[in-house]
C-alpha cells in the first residue's frame, strides 16, 4: 500500500486526457509537490488531451492515487473521487510548446514489471520497519539496564541490617513527664 500512496494522478478535468502519475520521494506528501512539477505535469496532460490540447483555459486536476474511485459502471479512463477535498486544481491558460518539447526530449518509455517493483518496495519497507523495531528494542534494553543499575545503587545504599527505626524508640508511660523533659 505504501507504493500506492506515493502516486499522484493528473488529468484534464471533464475532458478525455492522458493520466500522468507522479511518484513522490519518501517522506514527501502530495501537498509538497513543487510548483514547477505541477505545472509541467499540467502542460503534459493538456498536450496529450485531444480536446484539451485545442482549447485554452482548461483546468487540470490532481489527487493522491488512493483517492481515485472506480466503479464497475464507469467508462474506461473515467474516475471519481472518494474525498473531493483531496482534489487540487491547476488552471492552464494555454499550451506552452517549450515545456512540452523539453518534456518530450526527456521522455523514456518503460514497460516496468509493476509487480516486481511493488515486491521490491515492500521488501525495502519491511527492512526499514525491522531496523526501526530493532533500534526500539535496543533503546528499551538500554533504558531497562540503566533503571536496573540505578535501583541496584539505591538498594546497595540502604542495608536493611543497619537500619533502625526511631518510631517509639522508648515507650513513655507518662506523657506529661515526657513533655516536661522535652522543654
Q: Do residues 129 and 70 lie in contact, with contact meaning Cβ atoms separated by under 8 Å?
A: no
Q: Can you count the helices (H) and strands (E) in the chain?
A: 6, 6
- What global pTM score does this model have? 0.59
CB 89 within 8 A of CB 59: yes
Count of domains forming the chain: 2
Helix, coil or strand: residue 157:
helix
| Residue 181 to residue 75: CA distance in whole angstroms | 103
Residues 41 and 124 in one domain: no
- Whether 181 is covered by a domain: the verdict is no
On whether both 50 and 62 belong to a single domain, the answer is: yes
* Residues 97 and 144 reside in one and the same domain: no
Domain that holds residue 151: 111-157
DSSP classification of residue 11: E
Q: What is the pLDDT of residues 73-90, one digit of tens each?
A: 888 777 888 999 999 999
* Distance separating alpha carbons of residues 148 and 143, to the nearest angstrom: 9
Average pLDDT, the chain: 84
Same domain, 121 and 70: no
- Residue 164 inside a domain? The answer is no
Amino acid at each position: 500500500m505504501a507504493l500506492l500512496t506515493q502516486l499522484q494522478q493528473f488529468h484534464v478535468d471533464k475532458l478525455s486526457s492522458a493520466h500522468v502519475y507522479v511518484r513522490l520521494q519518501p517522506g514527501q506528501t502530495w501537498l509538497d509537490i513543487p510548483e514547477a512539477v505541477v505545472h509541467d505535469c499540467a502542460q503534459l496532460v493538456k498536450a496529450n488531451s485531444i480536446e484539451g490540447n485545442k482549447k485554452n483555459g482548461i483546468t487540470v486536476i490532481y489527487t493522491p492515487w488512493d483517492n481515485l474511485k472506480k466503479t464497475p459502471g464507469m467508462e474506461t479512463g473515467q474516475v471519481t473521487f472518494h474525498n473531493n477535498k483531496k482534489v487540487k486544481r491547476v488552471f492552464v491558460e494555454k499550451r506552452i510548446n517549450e515545456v512540452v518539447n523539453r518534456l518530450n526530449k526527456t521522455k523514456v518509455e518503460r514497460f516496468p514489471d509493476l509487480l516486481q517493483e511493488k515486491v521490491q518496495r515492500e521488501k525495502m519497507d519491511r527492512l526499514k520497519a525491522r531496523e526501526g523495531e530493532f533500534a526500539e528494542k535496543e533503546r528499551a534494553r538500554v533504558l531497562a539496564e540503566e533503571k536496573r543499575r540505578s535501583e541496584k545503587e539505591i538498594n546497595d545504599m540502604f542495608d536493611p541490617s543497619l537500619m533502625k527505626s526511631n518510631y517509639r524508640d522508648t515507650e513513655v508511660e507518662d506523657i506529661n513527664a515526657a513533655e516536661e523533659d522535652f522543654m
